[in-house]
Chains A and B, each alone.
Chain A
Amino acid sequence: MAKERPPKGLKGWAQGRSLWILQFCTGCGAVELPPVMTSRYDMERFGITPMATPRQADLLLITGYLTVKTLKRVIRSYEQMGEPKYVIGFGSCTVNGGMYWDSYNTIKRLDLYLPVDLYIAGCMPRPEAIIEAFNRLIEGIKQGKFNGWIRYKENLRWYKRNQAMIMDIRKWSIDKKLAEEVWREVQEERRKIFEQATVPHVYEYAERISEVG
């Protein structure tokens, strides 16, 4: 089977000029989107329109930090979208955790779980930065540069494994057989780690620190 490639030519042009977004309004990025839509920055002049459901959308906007519970819904939405599909991560929360860097229930790196095409730096990014990102995405799509959904399909096992580390993926994944397999693998590894561990590692580490300093 020939390797799948992103659309180019007329298809790529049409795809770039008509991006329909699914805004997953988590965190503070959702507040930055109304100015981008309304009269001052008006993203509709690039053909970008908000859509109501994942089935109709091409572009998934992750507008801020994601808790583990929200991530599950995000992945479900992403898997329902039709190909070609693109993801933009907003702000530092999706890059490295941002101000939630030590939180116990948010994820720190989005691209471990979903193939992100473009990040917008900032906390939060201003509407100018968002428009700039949309423009780069449009230019890139026209030249066939972005291939997030192909990476997701080719490395599905790796992504599913990362997802299985933090949540139960068995019931809703598209490839149910793979999800079941990966889930069992991860559980087996965890069981082994728990069996081998006798003294809490953190405790040992803390003692050593105190000896040194």
Chain B
Amino acid sequence: MTGQILWAIFMPILVIIIGLIYMGLARKITARIHNRYGPPFYQNIIDVIKLFSKKDVANHGVMFSLGPVIAVAGMVISLLFIPIGNRPLLSFNGDIIVLLYLLVIAPLGMALGVGEGANPNGAIGIARALTLMLGYEVVLVIAAVAVMIHAGSASFMEIIRQQQGGVAHWFIWPLFLSALATDIALQAILGEKPFDQPIAPHEIASGPMVEYGGKFLGMLQIYHAIAIIVETGIFVNLFLGGGSLVWWFVKSFAVFFVALLINAVMPRFRIGQAFKFYWTYPAAIGLVGLIIVAIT
């Protein structure tokens, strides 16, 4: 019990640091693809230190400053439901369904905060984020249902247990279509191109973050760092069979790396196109996968 409490305190800190390193590596890899040298891999940790050492910045009210806090809190709670390295914290039958609900808290917290900022760019960004969420959540749920039917359980630990015993046992092979649909949805969940409409810096000046600076922006960086681990973690646990601590993060980075390579070479869809795309191709792929699972 004591070990679990210590792990619950230590794990979010570890995840924040690793998530920030992921973001730094993302910048480095993108730079190499652009034929640049790129920043050091710990650049985002420096950024967060700098943002938290900045003096007071413009504040538009209570909800404005609570928005990033709700976002980070929502993400940390989601994180507790994800077994990292076979160490479950909040694990019971049905935790996947709870997690799918909890994932919505963070964007809604952001929406409340940005609303008080009263910046039109921020409002457009949030509108786009919620529209896009409507698109990818459907795909994600269809794929998750397929996994749950295949495993006969709605618990992460049970699903991981069934995938033990080598690469051949991973659910990515029997549920290939569902995995493909989830991976396409992951591109939008991670906010990578071609689905980065919510934070399009060239159109709407970084969207929801437009009024946030200094410590608020530092909070949002941490939120993004946790979000990357949570979102890639869902894919790792559902389709790649979890694994020990180091192995888990290696798999998680591999999933992130695929999204990154697509991000580095793609332009951006319009929000309408993105929404239409999600409700046609990945949804169709996911449905076919679901039907195959239901029949066999």
Q: Which residues of A contact B (CB under 8 A)?
A: 7, 10-11, 14-15, 17-18, 38-39, 42, 44-47, 51-53, 55-56, 58, 80-84
What 1/0 mask marks residues of chain B from 54 to 77 whose CB sits below 8 Å from any chain A CB? 111110000000000000000000
CB distance from B203 to the nearest CB of A (A): 10
Count chain B residues whose beta carbon lies closer than 8 angstroms to a beta carbon of A. Answer: 30
21 contacts between A and B (CB under 8 A): A10-B49, A10-B53, A11-B49, A11-B50, A14-B46, A15-B53, A18-B49, A38-B36, A42-B36, A42-B37, A44-B38, A44-B39, A45-B40, A47-B46, A52-B210, A53-B205, A53-B206, A82-B55, A82-B57, A82-B213, A84-B54
CB distance from A13 to the nearest CB of B (A): 8
What 1/0 mask marks residues of chain B from 143 to 186 whose CB sits below 8 Å from any chain A CB? 00000000000000000000000000000000000000000000
Nearest-neighbor residue (CB-CB) of A9 within chain B: B53
A53–B211 alpha-carbon span in the complex (Å): 8
A70–B27 alpha-carbon span in the complex (Å): 34
A38, B34: Cβ atoms closer than 8 Å: yes
B53, A82: Cβ atoms closer than 8 Å: no
Q: Which residues of chain A come closer than 8 Å to B210, judged between CB atoms?
A: 52-53, 55
Nearest-neighbor residue (CB-CB) of A15 within chain B: B50
B201 interfacial contact with A, CB 8 Å: yes
Q: Which residues of chain B come closer than 8 Å to A82, judged between CB atoms?
A: 54-58, 213-214
Contact A55/B43 with A42-B36, A82-B214 known, Cβ cut-off 8 Å:
no
What is the predominant secondary structure among interface residues of chain B facing chain A? Answer: loop
B47 interfacial contact with A, CB 8 Å: yes
A11–B47 alpha-carbon span in the complex (Å): 11
When the two chains form the complex, which single residue of A42, A44, A52, A83 contacts B54, counting CB atoms closer than 8 Å? Answer: A83
Other A-B contacts than A14-B46, A82-B57, 6 sampled, CB-CB below 8 A, are A11-B50, A18-B43, A44-B27, A53-B211, A55-B217, A56-B217
B35 interfacial contact with A, CB 8 Å: yes
CB distance from A79 to the nearest CB of B (A): 10
B31 interfacial contact with A, CB 8 Å: yes
B212 interfacial contact with A, CB 8 Å: yes
Q: Which residues of chain B come closer than 8 Å to A14, judged between CB atoms?
A: 46, 49-50, 53
CB distance from B219 to the nearest CB of A (A): 13
Q: Which residues of chain A come closer than 8 Å to B53, judged between CB atoms?
A: 7, 10-11, 14-15
A52, B201: Cβ atoms closer than 8 Å: yes
Q: Which of A11, A39, A53, A55 has the most CB of B within 10 A?
A: A55
CB distance from B116 to the nearest CB of A (A): 14
Q: Which residues of B contact A (CB under 8 A)?
A: 27, 31, 34-40, 43, 46-47, 49-50, 53-58, 201, 205-206, 209-214, 217
Nearest-neighbor residue (CB-CB) of B47 within chain A: A18
CB distance from B66 to the nearest CB of A (A): 18
A44–B44 alpha-carbon span in the complex (Å): 12
A56, B212: Cβ atoms closer than 8 Å: yes
Nearest-neighbor residue (CB-CB) of A45 within chain B: B37
When the two chains form the complex, which single residue of B46, B47, B211 contacts A55, counting CB atoms closer than 8 Å? Answer: B211
CB distance from A17 to the nearest CB of B (A): 5
Q: Which residues of chain B come closer than 8 Å to A10, judged between CB atoms?
A: 49, 53
Nearest-neighbor residue (CB-CB) of A12 within chain B: B53
Nearest-neighbor residue (CB-CB) of B199 within chain A: A52
Q: Which residues of chain B come closer than 8 Å to A56, judged between CB atoms?
A: 206, 209, 212-213, 217
A38–B36 alpha-carbon span in the complex (Å): 7
Nearest-neighbor residue (CB-CB) of A149 within chain B: B55
Q: Which residues of chain B come closer than 8 Å to A52, judged between CB atoms?
A: 201, 205-206, 210
Q: Which residues of chain A come closer than 8 Å to B38, judged between CB atoms?
A: 42, 44-45
CB distance from B59 to the nearest CB of A (A): 11
Q: Which residues of chain B come closer than 8 Å to A45, judged between CB atoms?
A: 31, 36-40
CB distance from B191 to the nearest CB of A (A): 15
A17–B53 alpha-carbon span in the complex (Å): 13
CB distance from A60 to the nearest CB of B (A): 14
Which 3 residue pairs across A and B have the least CB separation, nearest first?
A55-B213, A82-B57, A52-B205
A53–B53 alpha-carbon span in the complex (Å): 19
CB distance from B209 to the nearest CB of A (A): 7
Q: Which residues of chain B come closer than 8 Å to A39, judged between CB atoms?
A: 34-36
Contact A80/B58 with A10-B49, A56-B206 known, Cβ cut-off 8 Å:
yes
Q: Which residues of chain B come closer than 8 Å to A11, judged between CB atoms?
A: 49-50, 53
Q: Which of B49, B54, B58, B214 has the most CB of A within 10 A?
A: B54
A39–B57 alpha-carbon span in the complex (Å): 33
Nearest-neighbor residue (CB-CB) of A55 within chain B: B213
Nearest-neighbor residue (CB-CB) of A80 within chain B: B58
B31, A44: Cβ atoms closer than 8 Å: yes
